[in-house]
Protein backbone atom coordinates (compact mmCIF):
# COMPACT_ATOMS: atom_id res chain seq x y z
CA UNK A 1 0.00 0.00 0.00
CA UNK A 2 1.40 3.39 -0.92
CA UNK A 3 1.75 5.92 1.87
CA UNK A 4 1.71 9.66 1.45
CA UNK A 5 3.68 11.76 3.97
CA UNK A 6 1.77 14.67 5.48
CA UNK A 7 2.56 17.28 8.13
CA UNK A 8 4.89 16.69 11.10
CA UNK A 9 5.67 13.06 10.56
CA UNK A 10 2.08 11.80 10.43
CA UNK A 11 1.10 9.45 7.65
CA UNK A 12 -2.12 8.85 5.78
CA UNK A 13 -3.17 6.41 3.11
CA UNK A 14 -2.91 8.16 -0.24
CA UNK A 15 -6.50 7.17 -0.95
CA UNK A 16 -7.55 9.51 1.89
CA UNK A 17 -5.76 12.53 0.44
CA UNK A 18 -8.99 14.04 -0.90
CA UNK A 19 -10.67 13.60 2.47
CA UNK A 20 -7.69 15.12 4.30
CA UNK A 21 -7.77 18.15 2.00
CA UNK A 22 -11.46 18.69 2.70
CA UNK A 23 -11.08 18.13 6.45
CA UNK A 24 -8.33 20.74 6.64
CA UNK A 25 -10.51 23.23 4.76
CA UNK A 26 -13.45 22.68 7.12
CA UNK A 27 -11.23 22.96 10.19
CA UNK A 28 -9.79 26.20 8.85
CA UNK A 29 -13.28 27.65 8.46
CA UNK A 30 -14.24 26.56 11.98
CA UNK A 31 -11.07 28.10 13.43
CA UNK A 32 -11.98 31.44 11.82
CA UNK A 33 -15.12 31.78 13.94
CA UNK A 34 -14.49 29.71 17.08
CA UNK A 35 -12.78 32.60 18.89
CA UNK A 36 -16.00 34.64 18.76
CA UNK A 37 -18.34 32.28 20.63
CA UNK A 38 -19.52 32.89 24.18
CA UNK A 39 -19.76 35.98 26.38
CA UNK A 40 -15.98 36.41 26.35
CA UNK A 41 -15.58 35.84 22.62
CA UNK A 42 -13.40 38.34 20.78
CA UNK A 43 -13.91 40.25 17.55
CA UNK A 44 -12.53 39.57 14.10
CA UNK A 45 -11.22 42.27 11.78
CA UNK A 46 -12.04 41.79 8.11
CA UNK A 47 -10.05 43.91 5.65
CA UNK A 48 -10.81 44.05 1.93
CA UNK A 49 -8.40 44.89 -0.86
CA UNK A 50 -9.33 48.56 -0.66
CA UNK A 51 -8.51 48.73 3.04
CA UNK A 52 -12.12 48.97 4.22
CA UNK A 53 -12.46 47.41 7.65
CA UNK A 54 -15.28 45.44 9.27
CA UNK A 55 -14.94 44.57 12.95
CA UNK A 56 -17.38 41.94 14.16
CA UNK A 57 -17.86 38.73 16.10
CA UNK A 58 -20.94 37.76 14.12
CA UNK A 59 -20.24 34.32 12.68
CA UNK A 60 -22.22 34.62 9.45
CA UNK A 61 -20.67 38.02 8.66
CA UNK A 62 -17.19 36.55 9.04
CA UNK A 63 -18.04 33.52 6.92
CA UNK A 64 -19.72 35.51 4.15
CA UNK A 65 -16.95 38.08 3.83
CA UNK A 66 -13.84 35.96 4.30
CA UNK A 67 -11.91 34.84 1.25
CA UNK A 68 -12.51 31.11 0.81
CA UNK A 69 -11.97 29.34 -2.49
CA UNK A 70 -11.79 25.71 -1.44
CA UNK A 71 -15.02 23.86 -2.42
CA UNK A 72 -15.33 22.20 1.00
CA UNK A 73 -14.98 25.59 2.67
CA UNK A 74 -17.66 26.99 0.37
CA UNK A 75 -19.93 24.10 1.34
CA UNK A 76 -19.62 25.04 5.02
CA UNK A 77 -20.24 28.71 4.27
CA UNK A 78 -23.29 27.97 2.12
CA UNK A 79 -24.74 25.72 4.81
CA UNK A 80 -24.17 28.47 7.38
CA UNK A 81 -26.01 30.89 5.09
CA UNK A 82 -28.92 28.47 4.93
CA UNK A 83 -28.95 28.31 8.74
CA UNK A 84 -28.96 32.11 8.88
CA UNK A 85 -31.80 32.30 6.37
CA UNK A 86 -33.87 29.73 8.25
CA UNK A 87 -33.48 30.84 11.88
CA UNK A 88 -31.17 33.87 11.75
CA UNK A 89 -28.69 32.70 14.40
CA UNK A 90 -26.51 29.77 15.47
CA UNK A 91 -24.13 29.77 12.51
CA UNK A 92 -21.04 29.85 14.72
CA UNK A 93 -22.22 26.88 16.76
CA UNK A 94 -23.12 24.94 13.61
CA UNK A 95 -19.72 25.63 12.06
CA UNK A 96 -17.80 24.66 15.20
CA UNK A 97 -19.73 21.40 15.57
CA UNK A 98 -19.30 20.63 11.87
CA UNK A 99 -15.55 21.11 12.21
CA UNK A 100 -15.45 18.74 15.18
CA UNK A 101 -17.60 16.13 13.43
CA UNK A 102 -15.47 16.15 10.30
CA UNK A 103 -12.18 16.06 12.21
CA UNK A 104 -13.28 13.19 14.47
CA UNK A 105 -14.78 11.35 11.54
CA UNK A 106 -11.48 11.57 9.70
CA UNK A 107 -9.61 10.31 12.77
CA UNK A 108 -11.87 7.26 12.90
CA UNK A 109 -11.40 6.58 9.18
CA UNK A 110 -7.61 6.76 9.56
CA UNK A 111 -7.88 4.19 12.36
CA UNK A 112 -9.58 1.82 9.93
CA UNK A 113 -13.29 2.43 10.49
CA UNK A 114 -15.12 2.34 7.14
CA UNK A 115 -16.46 5.73 6.07
CA UNK A 116 -19.96 4.32 5.61
CA UNK A 117 -20.01 3.10 9.22
CA UNK A 118 -18.81 6.47 10.49
CA UNK A 119 -21.55 8.24 8.53
CA UNK A 120 -24.14 5.77 9.82
CA UNK A 121 -23.16 6.50 13.42
CA UNK A 122 -23.10 10.26 12.86
CA UNK A 123 -26.56 10.18 11.28
CA UNK A 124 -27.99 8.25 14.22
CA UNK A 125 -26.19 10.47 16.72
CA UNK A 126 -27.49 13.68 15.20
CA UNK A 127 -31.06 12.34 15.21
CA UNK A 128 -30.76 11.36 18.88
CA UNK A 129 -29.20 14.71 19.73
CA UNK A 130 -32.03 16.65 18.10
CA UNK A 131 -34.61 14.52 19.90
CA UNK A 132 -32.83 15.09 23.22
CA UNK A 133 -32.73 18.86 22.76
CA UNK A 134 -36.39 19.02 21.75
CA UNK A 135 -37.38 16.90 24.74
CA UNK A 136 -35.74 19.37 27.13
CA UNK A 137 -37.23 22.43 25.44
CA UNK A 138 -39.22 24.88 27.58
CA UNK A 139 -42.15 26.69 25.98
CA UNK A 140 -42.32 30.48 26.00
CA UNK A 141 -45.60 31.28 27.71
CA UNK A 142 -46.16 34.63 26.02
CA UNK A 143 -44.51 37.84 24.93
CA UNK A 144 -44.27 38.93 28.57
CA UNK A 145 -42.21 35.84 29.46
CA UNK A 146 -38.98 37.18 31.06
CA UNK A 147 -36.97 34.52 29.24
CA UNK A 148 -37.54 36.41 25.99
CA UNK A 149 -35.41 39.28 27.26
CA UNK A 150 -32.71 36.80 28.31
CA UNK A 151 -32.77 35.22 24.85
CA UNK A 152 -32.36 38.67 23.28
CA UNK A 153 -29.61 39.55 25.74
CA UNK A 154 -27.57 36.40 25.03
CA UNK A 155 -28.03 36.58 21.25
CA UNK A 156 -27.43 40.34 21.40
CA UNK A 157 -24.04 39.83 23.07
CA UNK A 158 -25.21 41.30 26.36
CA UNK A 159 -26.31 44.65 24.91
CA UNK A 160 -29.23 45.25 27.24
CA UNK A 161 -30.42 48.34 25.36
CA UNK A 162 -30.75 46.37 22.13
CA UNK A 163 -32.39 43.43 23.92
CA UNK A 164 -35.00 45.79 25.33
CA UNK A 165 -35.72 47.27 21.90
CA UNK A 166 -36.17 43.84 20.33
CA UNK A 167 -38.55 42.54 22.99
CA UNK A 168 -40.60 45.75 22.85
CA UNK A 169 -40.86 45.41 19.06
CA UNK A 170 -42.01 41.79 19.40
CA UNK A 171 -44.77 42.89 21.75
CA UNK A 172 -45.87 45.68 19.41
CA UNK A 173 -46.10 43.28 16.49
CA UNK A 174 -47.83 40.50 18.41
CA UNK A 175 -47.50 36.73 18.61
CA UNK A 176 -49.64 35.97 15.54
CA UNK A 177 -47.40 38.07 13.31
CA UNK A 178 -44.24 36.50 14.76
CA UNK A 179 -45.60 33.05 13.93
CA UNK A 180 -46.30 33.90 10.27
CA UNK A 181 -43.98 31.72 8.11
CA UNK A 182 -42.82 34.53 5.83
CA UNK A 183 -42.31 37.21 8.47
CA UNK A 184 -38.85 37.95 9.92
CA UNK A 185 -38.53 40.22 12.91
CA UNK A 186 -34.88 40.82 11.96
CA UNK A 187 -36.04 42.67 8.85
CA UNK A 188 -37.62 45.37 11.03
CA UNK A 189 -34.15 46.38 12.22
CA UNK A 190 -32.49 49.42 10.67
CA UNK A 191 -29.57 51.58 11.73
CA UNK A 192 -28.46 55.16 11.26
CA UNK A 193 -25.38 57.11 12.25
CA UNK A 194 -26.30 59.63 14.92
CA UNK A 195 -29.75 58.14 15.57
CA UNK A 196 -31.14 57.51 19.04
CA UNK A 197 -32.25 53.98 19.86
CA UNK A 198 -36.00 53.62 19.58
CA UNK A 199 -38.89 51.36 18.65
CA UNK A 200 -42.06 52.67 17.04
CA UNK A 201 -45.15 51.35 15.31
CA UNK A 202 -44.54 52.13 11.69
CA UNK A 203 -42.09 51.92 8.81
CA UNK A 204 -39.00 53.85 7.78
CA UNK A 205 -38.66 54.60 4.08
CA UNK A 206 -35.03 55.36 3.31
CA UNK A 207 -35.89 58.18 0.92
CA UNK A 208 -36.66 61.90 1.07
CA UNK A 209 -39.46 63.78 -0.73
CA UNK A 210 -38.84 64.35 -4.41
CA UNK A 211 -38.28 68.10 -3.91
CA UNK A 212 -38.14 70.66 -1.12
CA UNK A 213 -41.52 72.18 -2.02
CA UNK A 214 -43.37 69.03 -1.05
CA UNK A 215 -44.89 68.81 2.47
CA UNK A 216 -42.69 67.38 5.22
CA UNK A 217 -45.31 66.44 7.83
CA UNK A 218 -48.75 65.02 7.03
CA UNK A 219 -51.60 63.84 9.25
CA UNK A 220 -54.50 61.46 8.50
CA UNK A 221 -52.85 60.38 5.27
CA UNK A 222 -54.39 58.52 2.35
CA UNK A 223 -51.57 56.93 0.38
CA UNK A 224 -50.98 55.11 -2.88
CA UNK A 225 -48.23 52.59 -3.65
CA UNK A 226 -47.28 52.38 -7.34
CA UNK A 227 -45.37 49.23 -8.23
CA UNK A 228 -44.24 50.83 -11.47
CA UNK A 229 -43.02 54.14 -12.87
CA UNK A 230 -45.35 57.15 -12.59
CA UNK A 231 -44.98 58.18 -16.22
CA UNK A 232 -47.12 58.29 -19.38
CA UNK A 233 -47.26 55.13 -21.46
CA UNK A 234 -44.28 55.00 -23.78
CA UNK A 235 -44.28 55.15 -27.56
CA UNK A 236 -41.46 53.47 -29.44
CA UNK A 237 -38.88 55.77 -31.02
CA UNK A 238 -39.59 54.46 -34.52
CA UNK A 239 -43.29 55.20 -34.11
CA UNK A 240 -42.58 58.79 -33.01
CA UNK A 241 -41.26 59.53 -36.47
CA UNK A 242 -44.76 58.96 -37.85
CA UNK A 243 -47.83 61.19 -37.55
CA UNK A 244 -49.85 58.44 -35.88
CA UNK A 245 -47.06 57.74 -33.43
CA UNK A 246 -46.77 61.39 -32.43
CA UNK A 247 -50.53 61.54 -32.03
CA UNK A 248 -50.39 58.51 -29.79
CA UNK A 249 -47.75 60.24 -27.64
CA UNK A 250 -50.02 63.27 -27.16
CA UNK A 251 -52.96 61.03 -26.29
CA UNK A 252 -50.86 59.20 -23.68
CA UNK A 253 -49.78 62.47 -22.12
CA UNK A 254 -53.38 63.72 -21.96
CA UNK A 255 -54.52 60.43 -20.37
CA UNK A 256 -51.66 60.67 -17.89
CA UNK A 257 -52.74 64.17 -16.80
CA UNK A 258 -56.28 62.87 -16.29
CA UNK A 259 -54.93 60.04 -14.14
CA UNK A 260 -52.97 62.52 -12.02
CA UNK A 261 -56.07 64.66 -11.50
CA UNK A 262 -57.90 61.57 -10.20
CA UNK A 263 -55.19 61.09 -7.57
CA UNK A 264 -55.60 64.68 -6.43
CA UNK A 265 -59.41 64.37 -6.36
CA UNK A 266 -59.14 61.28 -4.16
CA UNK A 267 -57.30 63.32 -1.52
CA UNK A 268 -54.12 61.23 -1.72
CA UNK A 269 -51.33 62.87 0.28
CA UNK A 270 -48.51 60.34 -0.19
CA UNK A 271 -47.47 58.48 -3.33
CA UNK A 272 -44.74 55.86 -3.03
CA UNK A 273 -43.28 54.79 -6.37
CA UNK A 274 -41.09 51.82 -7.17
CA UNK A 275 -39.40 53.47 -10.17
CA UNK A 276 -39.03 56.93 -11.68
CA UNK A 277 -41.42 59.89 -11.81
CA UNK A 278 -42.30 62.05 -14.81
CA UNK A 279 -41.57 65.79 -14.49
CA UNK A 280 -45.21 66.63 -15.19
CA UNK A 281 -46.30 64.30 -12.39
CA UNK A 282 -43.81 65.89 -9.99
CA UNK A 283 -45.10 69.39 -10.78
CA UNK A 284 -48.78 68.47 -10.54
CA UNK A 285 -48.44 66.57 -7.28
CA UNK A 286 -46.23 69.26 -5.73
CA UNK A 287 -48.87 71.88 -6.52
CA UNK A 288 -51.50 69.65 -4.90
CA UNK A 289 -49.49 69.29 -1.67
CA UNK A 290 -48.71 65.62 -2.21
CA UNK A 291 -45.49 64.03 -0.89
CA UNK A 292 -43.84 61.80 -3.50
CA UNK A 293 -41.17 59.20 -2.72
CA UNK A 294 -39.78 57.51 -5.80
CA UNK A 295 -37.28 54.73 -6.52
CA UNK A 296 -38.21 53.20 -3.18
CA UNK A 297 -36.76 49.77 -2.41
CA UNK A 298 -39.34 47.02 -2.76
CA UNK A 299 -38.68 45.88 0.81
CA UNK A 300 -39.73 49.33 2.08
CA UNK A 301 -42.83 49.87 -0.04
CA UNK A 302 -44.07 46.36 0.67
CA UNK A 303 -43.84 47.07 4.40
CA UNK A 304 -45.74 50.34 3.96
CA UNK A 305 -48.41 48.62 1.91
CA UNK A 306 -48.86 45.85 4.48
CA UNK A 307 -48.90 48.24 7.43
CA UNK A 308 -51.28 50.73 5.89
CA UNK A 309 -53.53 48.37 3.94
CA UNK A 310 -52.56 49.66 0.51
CA UNK A 311 -52.70 47.43 -2.57
CA UNK A 312 -49.76 48.10 -4.93
CA UNK A 313 -51.00 49.29 -8.31
CA UNK A 314 -49.52 49.35 -11.82
CA UNK A 315 -49.67 52.59 -13.80
CA UNK A 316 -52.01 50.99 -16.34
CA UNK A 317 -54.56 50.55 -13.53
CA UNK A 318 -54.61 54.31 -13.00
CA UNK A 319 -56.92 54.50 -16.01
CA UNK A 320 -59.67 53.00 -13.87
CA UNK A 321 -62.42 55.21 -12.44
CA UNK A 322 -61.51 57.06 -9.25
CA UNK A 323 -63.91 54.93 -7.20
CA UNK A 324 -62.00 51.78 -8.20
CA UNK A 325 -58.60 53.35 -7.55
CA UNK A 326 -59.82 54.24 -4.06
CA UNK A 327 -59.88 50.53 -3.23
CA UNK A 328 -56.10 50.45 -3.66
CA UNK A 329 -55.42 53.18 -1.11
CA UNK A 330 -53.95 52.76 2.36
CA UNK A 331 -54.13 54.96 5.41
CA UNK A 332 -51.59 56.20 7.98
CA UNK A 333 -52.03 58.43 10.98
CA UNK A 334 -48.89 60.40 10.23
CA UNK A 335 -46.16 60.64 7.57
CA UNK A 336 -43.19 62.88 8.28
CA UNK A 337 -39.67 63.59 7.12
CA UNK A 338 -36.79 63.25 9.56
CA UNK A 339 -34.45 65.78 8.01
CA UNK A 340 -31.54 64.90 10.29
CA UNK A 341 -31.58 61.19 9.43
CA UNK A 342 -32.74 61.81 5.85
CA UNK A 343 -35.66 59.41 5.76
CA UNK A 344 -39.46 59.42 5.94
CA UNK A 345 -41.51 57.67 8.60
CA UNK A 346 -44.95 56.20 7.99
CA UNK A 347 -46.64 55.54 11.33
CA UNK A 348 -50.03 54.43 12.60
CA UNK A 349 -51.13 52.27 9.68
CA UNK A 350 -54.67 50.91 9.85
CA UNK A 351 -53.88 47.38 8.63
CA UNK A 352 -51.35 44.92 10.06
CA UNK A 353 -49.15 45.94 12.99
CA UNK A 354 -45.57 46.74 12.03
CA UNK A 355 -42.71 47.86 14.24
CA UNK A 356 -39.35 49.35 13.38
CA UNK A 357 -36.28 48.89 15.54
CA UNK A 358 -33.91 51.80 15.02
CA UNK A 359 -30.41 51.47 16.45
CA UNK A 360 -27.78 54.16 16.31
CA UNK A 361 -24.12 54.81 17.00
CA UNK A 362 -21.53 57.50 16.33
CA UNK A 363 -19.61 55.86 13.48
CA UNK A 364 -20.45 53.76 10.41
CA UNK A 365 -18.42 50.76 11.58
CA UNK A 366 -20.03 50.67 15.01
CA UNK A 367 -23.56 51.26 13.76
CA UNK A 368 -23.24 48.40 11.27
CA UNK A 369 -22.16 46.02 14.02
CA UNK A 370 -25.00 47.17 16.28
CA UNK A 371 -27.43 46.49 13.45
CA UNK A 372 -26.07 42.94 13.12
CA UNK A 373 -26.37 42.47 16.88
CA UNK A 374 -29.98 43.65 16.84
CA UNK A 375 -30.81 41.37 13.92
CA UNK A 376 -29.34 38.36 15.76
CA UNK A 377 -31.34 39.25 18.87
CA UNK A 378 -34.53 39.70 16.85
CA UNK A 379 -34.06 36.35 15.10
CA UNK A 380 -33.43 34.62 18.41
CA UNK A 381 -36.55 36.12 20.02
CA UNK A 382 -38.72 35.06 17.10
CA UNK A 383 -37.25 31.54 17.17
CA UNK A 384 -37.90 31.33 20.91
CA UNK A 385 -41.54 32.30 20.42
CA UNK A 386 -41.90 29.67 17.71
CA UNK A 387 -40.05 26.78 19.32
CA UNK A 388 -39.25 27.46 22.98
CA UNK A 389 -35.88 27.66 24.74
CA UNK A 390 -33.21 25.43 26.24
CA UNK A 391 -30.35 26.06 28.64
CA UNK A 392 -27.52 27.87 26.89
CA UNK A 393 -23.80 28.15 27.47
CA UNK A 394 -23.17 24.67 26.05
CA UNK A 395 -25.40 22.99 28.67
CA UNK A 396 -27.94 21.65 26.16
CA UNK A 397 -25.22 20.06 24.05
CA UNK A 398 -23.53 18.48 27.09
CA UNK A 399 -26.88 17.05 28.25
CA UNK A 400 -27.09 15.17 24.95
CA UNK A 401 -24.09 13.03 25.99
CA UNK A 402 -26.25 10.90 28.29
CA UNK A 403 -28.60 10.09 25.42
CA UNK A 404 -25.67 9.26 23.15
CA UNK A 405 -24.21 6.90 25.71
CA UNK A 406 -27.51 5.01 25.83
CA UNK A 407 -27.69 4.96 22.04
CA UNK A 408 -24.16 3.57 21.83
CA UNK A 409 -25.22 0.58 23.92
CA UNK A 410 -27.89 -0.18 21.35
CA UNK A 411 -25.48 -0.17 18.40
CA UNK A 412 -23.51 -3.08 17.14
CA UNK A 413 -20.44 -2.91 14.97
CA UNK A 414 -18.32 0.02 13.91
CA UNK A 415 -21.17 2.53 13.61
CA UNK A 416 -20.60 3.18 17.32
CA UNK A 417 -17.41 5.03 16.37
CA UNK A 418 -19.49 7.48 14.32
CA UNK A 419 -21.63 8.04 17.39
CA UNK A 420 -18.45 8.91 19.28
CA UNK A 421 -17.83 11.66 16.72
CA UNK A 422 -21.17 13.23 17.63
CA UNK A 423 -20.35 13.01 21.33
CA UNK A 424 -17.10 14.87 20.76
CA UNK A 425 -18.90 17.50 18.70
CA UNK A 426 -21.36 18.03 21.58
CA UNK A 427 -18.46 18.86 23.90
CA UNK A 428 -16.95 21.32 21.49
CA UNK A 429 -19.20 24.40 22.00
CA UNK A 430 -18.70 24.37 25.79
CA UNK A 431 -14.97 23.70 25.38
CA UNK A 432 -14.60 26.72 23.10
CA UNK A 433 -16.77 28.96 25.27
CA UNK A 434 -14.69 28.31 28.41
CA UNK A 435 -11.44 28.51 26.43
CA UNK A 436 -12.45 31.97 25.18
CA UNK A 437 -13.22 32.90 28.79
CA UNK A 438 -9.67 32.00 29.84
CA UNK A 439 -10.26 28.64 31.54
CA UNK A 440 -8.85 25.18 30.89
CA UNK A 441 -11.37 23.66 28.51
CA UNK A 442 -10.46 20.04 29.23
CA UNK A 443 -10.88 20.53 32.96
CA UNK A 444 -14.15 22.47 32.74
CA UNK A 445 -15.77 20.13 30.23
CA UNK A 446 -14.92 17.24 32.53
CA UNK A 447 -16.43 19.03 35.52
CA UNK A 448 -19.68 19.73 33.67
CA UNK A 449 -19.91 16.20 32.33
CA UNK A 450 -19.51 14.80 35.84
CA UNK A 451 -21.91 17.34 37.33
CA UNK A 452 -24.68 16.56 34.86
CA UNK A 453 -24.61 12.93 36.10
CA UNK A 454 -25.95 11.11 33.06
CA UNK A 455 -28.59 13.71 32.32
CA UNK A 456 -29.87 14.22 35.86
CA UNK A 457 -28.87 17.91 35.78
CA UNK A 458 -29.09 18.89 32.10
CA UNK A 459 -28.96 22.65 32.63
CA UNK A 460 -25.49 22.83 34.20
CA UNK A 461 -22.56 24.51 32.46
CA UNK A 462 -19.79 26.96 33.34
CA UNK A 463 -20.28 30.52 34.56
CA UNK A 464 -17.74 32.36 32.42
CA UNK A 465 -17.33 35.06 35.06
CA UNK A 466 -16.29 32.76 37.92
CA UNK A 467 -15.42 29.47 36.25
CA UNK A 468 -17.87 27.65 38.52
CA UNK A 469 -20.37 25.04 37.37
CA UNK A 470 -23.78 26.73 37.58
CA UNK A 471 -27.36 26.21 36.47
CA UNK A 472 -27.74 28.16 33.23
CA UNK A 473 -31.49 28.62 33.67
CA UNK A 474 -30.91 30.24 37.05
CA UNK A 475 -28.32 32.54 35.48
CA UNK A 476 -30.75 33.42 32.67
CA UNK A 477 -28.55 31.91 29.97
CA UNK A 478 -31.03 30.48 27.46
CA UNK A 479 -30.98 29.81 23.73
CA UNK A 480 -33.83 29.19 21.27
CA UNK A 481 -34.50 25.50 20.73
CA UNK A 482 -34.86 25.95 16.97
CA UNK A 483 -31.41 27.50 16.75
CA UNK A 484 -29.90 24.46 18.48
CA UNK A 485 -31.74 21.86 16.41
CA UNK A 486 -31.00 23.60 13.13
CA UNK A 487 -27.33 23.91 14.07
CA UNK A 488 -27.19 20.19 14.84
CA UNK A 489 -28.88 19.29 11.58
CA UNK A 490 -26.61 21.62 9.58
CA UNK A 491 -23.46 20.23 11.23
CA UNK A 492 -24.56 16.68 10.48
CA UNK A 493 -25.29 17.52 6.84
CA UNK A 494 -21.87 19.12 6.39
CA UNK A 495 -20.06 16.19 8.00
CA UNK A 496 -21.90 13.60 5.94
CA UNK A 497 -21.32 15.50 2.69
CA UNK A 498 -17.59 15.93 3.37
CA UNK A 499 -16.98 12.39 4.56
CA UNK A 500 -18.71 10.95 1.49
CA UNK A 501 -16.27 12.65 -0.88
CA UNK A 502 -13.77 10.01 -2.00
CA UNK A 503 -12.14 11.77 -4.95
CA UNK A 504 -11.64 15.31 -6.16
CA UNK A 505 -11.53 15.76 -9.93
CA UNK A 506 -10.84 19.01 -11.66
CA UNK A 507 -13.57 19.67 -14.22
CA UNK A 508 -12.54 20.39 -17.77
CA UNK A 509 -13.17 23.85 -19.13
CA UNK A 510 -16.52 23.76 -20.93
CA UNK A 511 -15.09 26.19 -23.46
CA UNK A 512 -12.57 23.57 -24.60
CA UNK A 513 -14.95 20.65 -25.06
CA UNK A 514 -13.32 19.75 -28.35
CA UNK A 515 -9.86 19.28 -26.80
CA UNK A 516 -7.93 16.07 -27.22
CA UNK A 517 -7.64 13.13 -24.84
CA UNK A 518 -11.34 12.72 -24.21
CA UNK A 519 -11.90 16.45 -23.92
CA UNK A 520 -9.34 16.90 -21.12
CA UNK A 521 -6.58 19.32 -22.03
CA UNK A 522 -2.97 18.38 -21.51
CA UNK A 523 -2.71 20.57 -18.39
CA UNK A 524 -5.56 18.77 -16.62
CA UNK A 525 -4.80 16.14 -13.95
CA UNK A 526 -5.76 12.54 -14.77
CA UNK A 527 -9.39 11.73 -13.94
CA UNK A 528 -9.87 10.29 -10.49
CA UNK A 529 -6.59 11.53 -9.07
CA UNK A 530 -6.83 13.68 -5.90
CA UNK A 531 -4.99 16.97 -5.96
For the stretch 363-386, pLDDT in tens is 777 888 899 999 999 999 999 999
Q: What's the mean pLDDT when you consider all of the chain? A: 88
- Would you mind telling me the total number of residues written for the chain in this entry? 531
> Would 525 be classed as within a structural domain?
no
Considering its fold, how many domains does the chain have in total? Answer: 2
Q: Are residues 253 and 296 in the same domain?
A: yes
Q: Is the model's pLDDT at 8 over the cut of 50?
A: no
Contact status, residue 201 vs residue 172, Cβ threshold 8 Å? yes
> Would 507 be classed as within a structural domain?
no
> Would 374 be classed as within a structural domain?
no
Q: What is the CATH number of the domain that holds 42?
A: 1.10.560.10
Predicted confidence (pLDDT) per residue in 169-182, tens digit: 999 999 999 999 88
Provide, rounded to the nearest whole percent, the portion of the chain with pLDDT above 90: 65
pLDDT at 511: 59
Q: Round to whole Å and give the CA distance between 67 and 189.
A: 27
Under the banding of pLDDT at 50, 70 and 90, the label for residue 519 is: very low
Q: Are residues 206 and 355 in the same domain?
A: yes
Predicted confidence (pLDDT) per residue in 439-466, tens digit: 999 999 999 999 998 777 899 999 999 9
Q: Are residues 238 and 100 in the same domain?
A: no
Question: Which has more pLDDT, 197 or 88?
Answer: 197
Q: Are residues 272 and 226 in the same domain?
A: yes
Question: Which has more pLDDT, 216 or 3?
Answer: 216
* Residues in CB range of 59: below 8 A, 6 or more apart: 33, 36, 37, 80, 91, 92, 95
> Would 188 be classed as within a structural domain?
no
> Would 187 be classed as within a structural domain?
no
pLDDT at 5: 42
Q: Round to whole Å and give the CA distance between 107 and 448.
A: 25
Mean pLDDT of 114-140: 95
Q: Are residues 63 and 210 in the same domain?
A: no
Q: Are residues 424 and 352 in the same domain?
A: no
Tell me the whole-structure pTM to 2 decimals: 0.82
> Would 81 be classed as within a structural domain?
yes
Full domain range(s) for residue 217? 198-361
Q: Is the model's pLDDT at 518 over the cut of 80?
A: no
Q: Are residues 413 and 355 in the same domain?
A: no
Q: Are residues 210 and 300 in the same domain?
A: yes
Provide, rounded to the nearest whole percent, the portion of the chain with pLDDT above 70: 91
Q: Are residues 232 and 297 in the same domain?
A: yes
pLDDT at 240: 63
Q: Is the model's pLDDT at 6 over the cut of 70?
A: no
Q: Are residues 30 and 83 in the same domain?
A: yes
pLDDT at 241: 65
Mean pLDDT of 206-218: 95
Q: What is the CATH number of the domain that holds 330?
A: 3.50.7.10
Q: Round to whole Å and give the CA distance between 296 and 300.
A: 7
Q: Is the model's pLDDT at 525 over the cut of 50?
A: no
> Would 343 be classed as within a structural domain?
yes
Q: Are residues 276 and 404 in the same domain?
A: no
Q: What is the DSSP string of 209-241?
A: -SSTTS-SEEEEEEEEEESS-BSPPP--HHHHT
Residue 257 phi, psi dihedral angles, 5° rounding: -65, -35
DSSP run (H or E) holding 188: none
Q: Is the model's pLDDT at 245 over the cut of 90?
A: no
Angle at 453 between CA 452 and CA 458, to 5 degrees: 35
Q: What is the DSSP string of 381-450?
A: HHHHHHH-EEETTTHHHHHHHHHHHHHHHH--STHHHHHHHHHHHHHHHHHHHHHHTTS-HHHHHHHHHH
> Would 156 be classed as within a structural domain?
no
**C-alpha dihedral, 224 to 228 to 229 to 235, nearest 10°:** -130
Q: Are residues 228 and 357 in the same domain?
A: yes
Predicted confidence (pLDDT) per residue in 385-400, tens digit: 999 999 999 999 999 9
Amino acid sequence: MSIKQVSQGSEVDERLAALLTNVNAVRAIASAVEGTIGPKGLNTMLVDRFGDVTITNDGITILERMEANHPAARLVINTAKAQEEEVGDGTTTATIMAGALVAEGFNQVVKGVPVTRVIEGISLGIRRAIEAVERRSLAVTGLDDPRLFQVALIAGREHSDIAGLVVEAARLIGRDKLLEPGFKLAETVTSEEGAANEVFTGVIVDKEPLNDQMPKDLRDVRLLVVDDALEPDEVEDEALATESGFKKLLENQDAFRVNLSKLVELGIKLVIIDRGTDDAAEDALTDAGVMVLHRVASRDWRKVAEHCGARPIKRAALRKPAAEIARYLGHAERVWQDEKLEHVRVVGGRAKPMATILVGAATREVVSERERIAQDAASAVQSAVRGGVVAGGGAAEMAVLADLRRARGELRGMAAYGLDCVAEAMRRPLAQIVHNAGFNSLEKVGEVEAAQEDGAHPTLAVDCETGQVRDMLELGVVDPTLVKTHALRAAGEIAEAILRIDTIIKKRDEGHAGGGQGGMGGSEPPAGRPF
